[in-house]
Amino acid sequence: MGVIFRKTGCLIREDSNSGDQKFWDAEIKGNSVTIHFGTVGTQGTRGSREFPSYEAAENFLAQRVRKKLEEGYKPQVER
């Protein structure tokens, strides 16, 4: 069986105080989650985390996406 791969869409949040836009996106490859985040227009920061299984990685990612949506992030609209 091949490696399972899934990528979230990019989430964007605008800081009402500074006007800066923050981005957040993630991908699962096998049992590893990589998250990329930062201020729009910068390279941002990447971090990866290994899990015992794809299912554990998927559960972690689902929790993180829910948290970001609660924090006001919205899916990026392609123009």
- Inform me whether the pLDDT recorded for 11 exceeds 80: yes
The mean pLDDT value for 13-18 works out to: 85
Answer whether residue 79 shows pLDDT above 70.
no
Structural domain containing residue 57 = 5-75
pTM tops 0.75, yes or no? yes
Q: Which residue in 64, 73, 66 sits closest to 35, CA to CA?
A: 64
Number of domains the chain is built from = 1
CATH number at residue 17: 2.20.140.10
Q: How far apart are the C-alpha atoms of 20 and 57, rounded to whole Å?
A: 30
User: Please, is 32 exposed, middle or buried when counting C-beta atoms within 10 Å of its C-beta (0-12, 13-18, 19+)?
Assistant: middle
Model confidence pLDDT, tens digit, residues 23-50:
999 999 999 999 999 999 999 999 999 9
* Confidence (pLDDT) at 2: 56
Where does 14-73 have alpha helices with state H? Answer: 54-70
